[in-house]
Amino acid sequence: MNQTKAVALLLCSVIVAVSARRVQGNWEHREDFQIAEDEALALPSSHEVIIAVKQLNLDRIENITLSVSDPSHSSYGEHLSYDEVHQMTSNPEALRAVQEYCAKNDIHITKTSSHGEYIHATATPASWERFLQAKFVTMRHVTKGTTVLRSREFTMPAPLLQHVSHIFSVVELPARPAITPQVKMIDEEPDNGYPCKSTMKMACWNYRYNQTTNDATGEHQMVFGQKGAYTQLSDLSMFASSNSIEAQSFNCPVASGCSETQCKGYDPDMKPNGPKCAEGNLDTQFISGVAQGATNTFYQNQNLDTPFLEFITYASSLKSPPSVMSISYGSYEYEMDHAVMDHFSTEAMKLGAQGVSILSASGDDGVAGYKARNDTSQCKYTTSFPTTCPWVTSVGATQNAENDPEDHEVHTLQEYAANAPEQQGPYFKVTTAGGFSNYFQRPDYQAAAVKAYFATPESARAAPGYNTTGRGVPDISSNSINFQTWINASPALICGSSGSAPSVAGMISVINAQRVKAGKARLGFLNPMVYKTPQAFNDIPHGWNNCSAVVTHCCKQGFTGASGWDPLVGMGSPSYIRLMKATGL
């Protein structure tokens, strides 16, 4: 089967699935939630669900997105408008059917997306149990104590079968929250005349990746923030001063996400409040430092049940969406509800048709993920979502980009895949995640590159157990070590692909700005271009990813780097100048 058609069928699989009698939750892999049976818990007076209306013409949108994103296609850069995309996918008949069903059954609609794709509706738990033939139980998180109301399965009401693809907040458990990035408070290093000296700052980024300008005037870029994590915008001025650049600003649609109080009062080990701003400050400072003059948005999602779906549906609802989005969070793919991944992919694809680039961090703990840090029984091949979504650009982690040739503690300036055992002295332990999805099939745009990797002797070193037909990640990579970030007016070092994704995202914003000035279209969905222009990326053949980050444990499962694409760093790290030339400037 043609791989592009396979992706299209996958995106629409949820529509087929809900035609079956029962819809089941993906609970079998979750040990972090348990049924709360130790006490009598009263059911809430109302429960809100999200009804996903079946969208039309998704196969057509897919073909358009791939065409306008392919530099060898005649329609490259001919992106659709918001109205063109949503008018093509909207389904007024299905919307009316859902509205009529709700009205007849005393279900209160609280919110409807602009073209009727998603309907928020409330009713009593008893009513939902009756309508959906469900049995709600209270699920409690084993360490946090938070609870959610869920059923193991439900039946789609017959009047909705033809019109609804899924009903959220019924069976799917909340996504596992991300872990806190590694942080160390430091004294700011004095200017030693070298752009790179064991820390990643703006001069080092520009030097290492040949970025000749940071001007992103006229562009709009957005950062994903998770509830409970914040960005302290006053630190942007400290970051700017440290890097001798103009201070940038951010819009905060959710005002609580930009806080001047949440990061106050921590000790040098970043407790108790420092980690609350580590991720947000890293993301906002580096995306806006690499791409200066852009309009910046920090969107802190408020729905921890389905944070990625909330973010992508918010972005998809914007009539003028940001041209670049960065996500530094992820959850184990095998724990994710399939409907969440399918609908995220649908909205990401629609954004790609509009010329939006979405970049997502691949992760920091090799193929096994962070569970293997303290438990080698967790060694296995895993990937995280949303980085495995075929419609986002997965960004992996490298090391040694932050060093200078005059730093005699290192033996080479060659950049290589971040792997914890090779990181010296003061460096944090980070191992680039990568591998193959067990859910998404390999798309056409990367088929040749992955096939070439499987033909290398390095690929034969991997222990069996991975999906040889899955979507490969990452697509590209960049530095992940020692980002000098400011938290509550103090310098700190932060490591991880959490810094790689927003930094590369900033570079894409700058390229977009230069393309617009030259009368060209924005890059949009990046992956078809990435795999057709290997000359734009620094080949990184060295590394392996069988080990976790700190605490470092190594597994038999893992991959070895090779020339060309590999499941550690993808196609390699970007060169701004060569990427500009490869895309027509």
**Residue 13: per-residue pLDDT:** 40
Token readout for 264 is: 């106050």
- pTM of the predicted protein model: 0.93
Q: Per-residue confidence at 183, pLDDT binned at 50, 70, 90?
A: confident
Query: For the CA atoms of 410, 415, 418, 419, what is the dihedral angle to 10 degrees?
Result: -60
With respect to residue 70, please indicate whether it lies within any of the assigned structural domains. no
Q: Which of 29-43, 101-115, 164-178 has the highest mean pLDDT?
A: 101-115
User: 225 vs 80, 259, 305, 318, 450, CA distance in Å?
Assistant: 27, 12, 14, 17, 32
Is residue 494's pLDDT more than 80?
A: yes
Q: Which pair of structure tokens corresponds to residue 217?
A: 């005037």
* Same domain assignment for residues 41 and 155: yes
pLDDT (tens digit per residue) in 355-380: 999 999 999 999 999 999 888 899 99
- Report the pLDDT value the prediction gives residue 38, as an integer from 0 to 100: 63
- Domain match, 431 and 569 both: yes
Q: Please, which residues have CB within 8 angstroms of residue 271's CB and are 6 or more apart in sequence?
A: none
* Enclosing domain of residue 154: 3-55+90-168
Mean of pLDDT values over 527-540:
97
Is residue 71 in some structural domain? no
- The partner residues of 544 in beta bridges, in order of sequence, read 560
For residues 120 and 247, membership in a common domain is answered with no
How big is the CA angle at 442 (ends 380 and 53), to the nearest 5 degrees? 100
How much is the pLDDT for 196?
Answer: 86
Within a domain: 83: no
pLDDT in tens, 381-429: 999 999 999 999 999 999 999 887 665 454 457 899 999 988 866 667 8
Chosen domain end from 168, 203, 219? 168
Residues 289 and 331 placed together within one structural domain of the fold: yes
Checking if the pLDDT of 144 tops 70, the result is: yes
Is residue 85, in this structure, part of any structural domain at all? Answer: no
What value does the mean pLDDT take over residues 558-580?
97
Residue 344, pLDDT > 90, answer: yes
Regarding whether 196 and 143 lie in a shared domain, the answer is no
DSSP sequence for 181-245 = PEEEE-PPPPP-S-S-SSSB-HHHHHHHTT----B-TT-EEEEEE-TT--B-TTHHHHHHHHHTS
Euclidean distance between CA atoms 346 and 62, whole angstroms: 9
Q: Please check whether residues 154 and 39 belong to one and the same domain.
A: yes
What average pLDDT does the segment 19-33 reach? 80
Ramachandran quadrant class, 406 (left: phi over 0; alpha: psi -120 to 50; beta: rest): alpha
Residue 10 has pLDDT above 90, yes or no: no
pLDDT tens digits, 76-131: 999 999 999 999 999 999 999 999 999 999 999 999 999 999 999 999 999 999 99
pLDDT at 429: 85
**Region 451-472 average pLDDT:** 98
Residue 78 lies in a domain: no
User: Does the structure show a pLDDT above 80 at 37?
Assistant: no
What distance in Å separates the CA atoms of residue 446 and residue 70, rounded to the nearest whole number? 12
Per the domain annotation, does 471 fall within a domain? yes
CA atoms within 13 A on the CB side of 148: 23
- Do residue 322 and residue 460 come from a single domain? yes
Helix axes 338-353, 307-317, angle to 10 degrees: 20
Residues 150 and 33 in one domain: yes
Asked whether residue 14 carries a pLDDT value surpassing 90, the answer given is no
What is the structure's pLDDT at 44? 86
Q: Among residues 168, 202, 218, which one ends one of the domains? A: 168
Is the pLDDT score of 566 beyond 60?
Answer: yes
pLDDT-based confidence at residue 561 (cuts at 50, 70, 90): very high
3-state SS, residue 66: helix
140 phi/psi in degrees, rounded to 5: -115, 135
Domain count, the chain: 2
Q: Are residues 400 and 535 in the same domain?
A: yes
Whole-number percent of the chain with pLDDT over 90: 74
What does the pLDDT average to over 21-39? 83
Which tens digits make up the pLDDT trace of 305-335?
889 999 999 999 999 999 999 999 999 999 9
* CATH assignment at residue 278: 3.40.50.200
Given a cut of 50, is residue 141 above it in pLDDT?
yes
| Whether residues 160 and 193 fall in one domain | no
Q: What is the mean pLDDT of the chain?
A: 90
Q: In the predicted model, what is the mean pLDDT of residues 438-448?
A: 98
Longest dimension (CA), the chain: 75
Q: pLDDT class for 253, splitting at 50, 70, 90?
A: very high
Last residue of a domain, one of 116, 144, 168: 168
Give the model's pLDDT for residue 236: 95
Specify if 146 maps to a domain: yes
User: Is the domain of 268 the same as that of 120?
Assistant: no
Q: Based on the domain organization, do 347 and 415 belong to the same domain?
A: yes
Quote the pLDDT of residue 15. Answer: 38
Q: Can you give the pLDDT at residue 271?
A: 54
Domain-embedded: residue 336: yes
Q: What confidence score (pLDDT) does residue 269 get?
A: 54
Q: Which of 295-304, 337-346, 426-435 has the lowest mean pLDDT?
A: 426-435
Category of 342 on φ-ψ map: left (φ > 0), alpha (ψ -120 to 50) or beta: alpha
